[in-house]
Every structure is written in structure tokens, then in C-alpha cells.
Structure 1
Amino acid sequence: MGNRILIVDDAAFMRMMIKDILTKNGYQVVAEAENGAVAVEKWKEFRPDLTTMDITMPEMDGINAVRAIRQVDPNARVIMCSAMGQQAMVIDAIQAGAKDFIVKPFQPDRVLEAVRKALA
């Protein structure tokens, strides 16, 4: 099986879209989370090779979740997902330790390129 991935987004539809792109291309989605707090717990439980993380979510946003995950493992690989017009947040995310970011609505080629790059 391919690399193990955790998908984090508060919108079930977005999680489904990313999961579809990844599983069709040989990646294994080991878990999903609907907010940053759940993401940190799932990350600790599954230790995925890569996490896709939405930025704007209830309870704990993606940037704080990345910081929390990277406190546990400084080498954790995270790709941020954001809607258009969130450039300042994307910069915060990269500074928090994200490897890359992809913009919604998702373009399958861009998602796969970011995943391949982050896992390289």
C-alpha cells in the first residue's frame, strides 16, 4: 500500500474530494479529522506519513494544529489547504512548519504534485 495520509478539513465534502484523488493514485488514507484538535489526536494515534490540513476550522485552526503536531514530531509532513485569498494565513502556515499548500477548489494534478513533493 502507498504512503499513509491523514486528511483534515471541517467540510466532509472536501475530505471526500481529497480522499478520492489520493486513493485513486495509490495513497492510503488512514484517518480523517474535522478540526485541528481531533487532527492532533488522530496524528498521534496513526503517525501518518503526510497530513493535509485545512486552515480555517472550528475548535483549533490548522496553523495551531500544525504547531502542536510538530511539537510531537518536528519532521511531521503537513500540506495546508486554503481557499483563495488566504495568503497571509498560508505564510503563517509555512512558518509554522507546513511543507506546501494547495488551494481550493482542488485540482487533482496540484494535489498530487504537492503530496509527491512533501513525501520526497
Structure 2
Amino acid sequence: MARILIADDAPIMRELLASLLIKGGHEIAAEARNGLEAVELYLRHRPELITMDITMPVMDGITAIRHIREKDPSAKIVIFSSLGQQNMIADAIRAGAWDFVAKPFYESRVLDVVSKALAIPSLTGETGES
């Protein structure tokens, strides 16, 4: 079980992800409606994992990833985004996201990616690139 921060501007996506993650045995530490809230809530709650949408108001997910990774290089972040945003997904991975899940997503894919990200001892210094 892990404490997870969900960052997505769509309430239905936050609700769906929370439901899947709770069903998978995880706890929701907090939910953010934009990238700025994600940064603030990460620093306040220090969850084991963040699920991050890319396209959000106030601050986008890529900028939020950069801010979070500046404060905590070991933060584990997984992007949740539509497949039509391949360039943005690549930018998010370069910014420090560990992996991505394409929307619409399957429960098994969500839980698999979350489990793999949580199994990594530390992401310090890693950028997700090979």
C-alpha cells in the first residue's frame, strides 16, 4: 500500500483514478486540480507516488514535475495523458516522470505501472531516459 497524490483537472478522472487505486490497496493522500496545487500538496503530504495529468490550468504537469523534482529528486511521478500528446509525454519523461499511462486507461495498466514505480528504491538522478 502506498499514499498517492492524484493531479488532474478533470473531477471525473480524479474520481476514477482514486477508485482504482483504493481498490488496488492504496491510499489517496490528496487530489490536485492543477500543477501548482500538485506541487504544494506534494510538499505538504510527501506521498510515495504522484499521478500527473499533463494539460492542466494554472501550471501544466510538465512544469509541476520540474518543480517537484527540484525539491525532491527521488519523487516518483507517473503521467496520465491522452495518446495524442506524444511530444508532451516525451517532455514529461525528460522532466523526470517515470512512466506514462494513456487515457482512456485500463485498470490493469494503472495498477501495473503504479506497482512498478513503487518498487523502484530511488529515482534520484534518474530522468526516465535510457
The Cα RMSD (Å) is 0.5
1:92 aligned partner, one-letter code: D
Structure-1 separation of matches of 2:94 and 2:32: 22
Residue identity matched to 1:81: F
SS in 1 for 2:52: strand
Measure, in 1, the Cα distance between the counterparts of 2:34 and 2:113: 21
Instruction: Determine the structure 2 residue equivalent to 1:25.
Output: 24
Q: TM-score, normalised by structure 2?
A: 0.90
User: Any gaps of 5 or more consecutive residues in structure 2?
Assistant: 120-130
Moved >6 Å (runs of 4+)? none
TM-score by structure 1 length?
0.98
Give the SS at the match of 1:85: helix
Q: Could you say what secondary structure the match of 2:92 adopts? A: helix
How far is the alpha carbon of 1:25 from its aligned partner?
1.0
Tell me by how many angstroms 1:16 deviates. Answer: 0.5
Aligned-pair CA distance for 1:106: 1.8
The residue identity in structure 1 corresponding to 2:14 is R
Aligned residues: 119
- Provide the C-alpha distance between the structure 2 equivalents of 1:94 and 1:84, rounded to a whole number of angstroms: 14
1:16-39 Cα deviation digits (max 9, x unpaired) = 010010001100011000000000
Aligned to 1:36: 35
Q: Deviations over 1:46-75 (max 9, x none)?
A: 000000000000010000000000011000
Unaligned runs of 5+ in 1: none
Distance 1:84 1:4 in 2: 27
Say if 2:103 is the partner of 1:76. no
1:48-67 to 2 correspondences below 5 Å: 48-67=47-66
